[in-house]
Structures are given as C-alpha cells and as structure tokens.
C-alpha cells in the first residue's frame, strides 16, 4: 500500500514564519517530517471546521498546519474518511441541492412563524396574563399619556356623564365579563379626533370626536374600541412586537440590521391592521346585539374621514386598513 503524503506550511505559534513539512497519516497519528513528530489523532480529531478555505489543523501546542492547495482535495478526502467525517451542516453547505432545500425550509418556517407562531404566542399570553397585571399596565400607560397628550380631563362636559353611564350599563348587560373604564379628555394638540383602548379596559375618547359625531356614530366607535378590549389587542400587540423584534434580531441582524428594522416595522403595521379589522368585526356583531345596524360604523368612519379632510398614506404603510374597505365591510355586515 502506498502511503499518501501531503505538504503543508507549519506555523509554530510564536513566530510569523512558515516552515515546510510533509505529513502522512498512520493508524493512530498524524506524522510530521522532518522532525518525526507524531500527533495523536484522538487529540486532533475535534477540529473546529478544518476545511473552510484551505484545510487547516490546529495542533495542541498552539502550532498550526495549513495544507498546500495542490494537496487540499486529497488531504480532505483522507481526513474525512479516517478521522473526522464532515458534520451535516458542513455537508449541507457543500451542496447546492441541500442549500436550496434549506431556503425552502427557511421560507416555510418564516411564514409559519409569522402566520401562526407569533400570533398564537401573543394570544396565549393575552389569555394567561392576569387581569390585574393588565390593568396595572393600562393605568401606568395612562399615567404616561396624561403627561402630554391627555393633560386636560374633560369630565365637565355636560353630555358626557349621562352618555357614559348609559353605555356602561348597556355594555354590562351584553358583556358582563369585561371591566371597562371610560374617560373623556381634551387632547394636546387640541384638534386630534380619536378614541383608543389601553390594556385593562381603559377606553379614552377625545373631546373633538365626542363633539363631532352623532349619538349612534359614537356608539359604533365605542363598540370598535370595546372590540380591542375584548380581544386584548393591547397586550397582544406588545407581545407580538417584542417577539417579532427578537426573532428579527436573532436571525437577520447578523446580516443587516437596517433590513431587520424595516421588516419589523412593516410587519408590525400589518399586525395592527389585522387587529383593527378584528375590532371592526366585533363592533358589527355588538351593534347588531344592541339592535343597531353595523352600517353605523361605516357611517362614523366616513364622517370622521370627511372631517379630517385627507391625510392618509398608502395602505401598506398605515396602522389602520383603508377607510373605504372598512366602510364596505360594515355595509356588508349590515346586509347579512
């Protein structure tokens, strides 16, 4: 049997100078010539990736060997056959077929995570979180908002108290499990026309909205916000955005943090649009149970849009679905 020999550069780990050596493998050792040094294969075997680029071996005493290019293929074959077979990751990297299969798996698992994994996780959290904790989070967010956006409470508004009492009583009958807390504020900046729900059932109505909409339209908007409370969108949204950020940071940001940030931002907005649609659907059903038409929500949205006069962005850049689509959904719900 012919003994295979390979040439390599030997670095002693102390001086930046290469020495030429000749290598061969015997049953238990890697032998170096000249010098006759024998290195036990057992000690050499756990080589971290000796094959990236040119084959390279780290020796126990801090020295290292780099196999010459003309012998690289032969050495690799002998080493893998007799000492360390390539790991499966290494084999995947070496083959186009495996890499393309990995790509298919990657796309499938990203879609799965996005469509089912994260939403399911967020929903679980939403359901498991004790109401007390959620309420505390809501109160605390409220306290933050009161520093700026909600500086001035507008409880003095004469129509407000009777309206609130009536709605709370009505909702108590329909949704006895929900803990709701309604409040009216004069916003800063003063013309902001909005209403929103915080975790723990805190629903805030801004005074310009309260003044501008009719009684039934207000009811529709309230039903939409109750939908957010019912589905616990506040906590879920928080959990999703944190989860999404973590997945992106751990997977993509090694390669591009800018891309990761953009992806998280856009995906977060789309989650928010899904939540809005869910709250709308809830509002349709609730309005019907109150003996009103779901079309009221469409009417309120159209009214609001007319009042605000423009100012929308393309739908994929928006936190809410396009008004037209929401109005149509409401009208369809009314016909059913």
Region near other proteins per CB under 8 A, out of 63-71, 75-83, 195-203, 208-216: 63-71
Per CB under 8 A, 307 contacts other proteins:
no
Minimum CB distance to other proteins, residue 58 (Å): 7
Q: At which residue do the structure tokens 């290494």 appear?
A: 90
Out of 45, 120, 178, 250, the residue judged to bind other proteins by CB under 8 A? 250
CA 28 to chain centre: 51
Structure tokens at 184: 């009216």
Q: Which is nearer to other proteins, 35 or 214 (CB)?
A: 35
Nearest to 50 by CA among 78, 14, 20, 22: 78
Minimum CB distance to other proteins, residue 160 (Å): 29
* Site track 210-249 with other proteins (rule: CB under 8 A), x = hit: --------------------------------x--xxx-x
Quote the crossing angle between the two packed helices 215-230 and 233-251, to the nearest 10°.
50
65: three-class secondary structure by DSSP = strand
Nearest to 223 by CA among 143, 179, 281: 281
Q: Which is nearer to other proteins, 2 or 258 (CB)?
A: 258
Per CB under 8 A, 179 contacts other proteins:
no
300: three-class secondary structure by DSSP = helix
Q: Which is nearer to other proteins, 148 or 177 (CB)?
A: 148
Q: Which is nearer to other proteins, 110 or 212 (CB)?
A: 110
Per CB under 8 A, 317 contacts other proteins:
yes
What is each CA distance from 177 to 112, 144, 180, 187, 248, in whole angstroms? 33, 27, 9, 30, 37
Per CB under 8 A, 255 contacts other proteins:
yes
**How many residues interact with other proteins (rule CB under 8 A)?**
62
Residues 21-50 that bind other proteins (CB under 8 A): 34-35, 48-49
Q: Which is nearer to other proteins, 122 or 180 (CB)?
A: 122
Minimum CB distance to other proteins, residue 290 (Å): 32
Task: Report how far residue 31's alpha carbon sits from residue 139's, in angstroms, rounded to the nearest whole number.
Answer: 73
Q: Which residues contact 262 (CB under 8 A, 6 or more apart)?
A: none
Task: Report how far residue 224's alpha carbon sits from residue 264's, in angstroms, rounded to the nearest whole number.
Answer: 26
Q: Which is nearer to other proteins, 51 or 213 (CB)?
A: 51
Q: Is the dihedral of CA 221, 222, 224, 228 positive or negative?
A: positive
What is each CA distance from 72 to 12, 51, 69, in whole angstroms? 20, 9, 5
Per CB under 8 A, 94 contacts other proteins:
yes
Minimum CB distance to other proteins, residue 320 (Å): 12
Minimum CB distance to other proteins, residue 180 (Å): 24
Structure tokens at 48: 């971290």
Binding residues (CB under 8 A) for other proteins: these are 9, 11-20, 34-35, 48-49, 52-54, 56, 58, 62-64, 66, 89, 92-96, 98-99, 102-103, 105-106, 109-110, 113, 140, 144, 242, 245-247, 249-259, 310-314, 317
């Amino acid at each position: 049997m012919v003994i295979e020999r390979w040439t390599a550069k030997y670095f002693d780990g102390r001086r930046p100078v290469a020495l030429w050596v000749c290598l061969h493998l015997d049953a238990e050792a890697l032998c170096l010539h000249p010098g006759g040094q024998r290195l036990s294969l057992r000690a050499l075997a756990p080589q971290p990736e000796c094959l990236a680029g040119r084959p390279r071996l780290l020796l126990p005493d801090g020295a290292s060997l780099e196999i010459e290019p003309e012998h690289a293929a032969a050495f690799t074959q002998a080493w893998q056959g007799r000492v360390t077979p390539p790991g499966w990751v290494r084999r995947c990297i070496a083959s186009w077929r495996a890499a393309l299969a990995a790509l298919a798996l990657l796309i499938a698992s990203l879609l799965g995570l996005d469509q089912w994994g994260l939403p399911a996780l967020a929903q679980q959290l939403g359901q498991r979180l004790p109401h007390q904790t959620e309420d505390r989070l809501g109160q605390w967010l409220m306290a933050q908002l009161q520093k700026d956006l909600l500086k001035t409470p507008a409880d003095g508004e004469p129509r407000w108290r009777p309206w609130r009492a009536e709605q709370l009583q009505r909702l108590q009958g329909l949704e006895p499990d929900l803990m709701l807390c309604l409040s009216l504020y004069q916003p800063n900046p003063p013309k902001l026309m909005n209403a929103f729900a915080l975790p723990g059932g805190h629903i805030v109505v801004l005074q310009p909205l309260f003044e501008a909409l009719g009684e039934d339209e207000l009811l529709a908007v309230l039903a939409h916000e109750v939908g957010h409370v019912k589905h616990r969108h506040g906590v879920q949204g928080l959990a999703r955005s944190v989860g999404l950020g973590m997945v992106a940071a751990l997977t993509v940001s090694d390669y591009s943090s800018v891309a990761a940030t953009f992806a998280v931002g856009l995906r977060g907005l789309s989650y928010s649009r899904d939540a809005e649609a869910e709250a709308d659907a809830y509002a349709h059903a609730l309005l019907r149970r109150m003996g009103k038409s779901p079309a009221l929500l469409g009417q309120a949205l159209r009214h609001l849009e007319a009042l605000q006069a423009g100012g929308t962005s393309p739908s994929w850049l928006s936190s809410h679905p396009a008004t037209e689509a929401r109005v149509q959904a409401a009208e369809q719900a009314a016909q059913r």
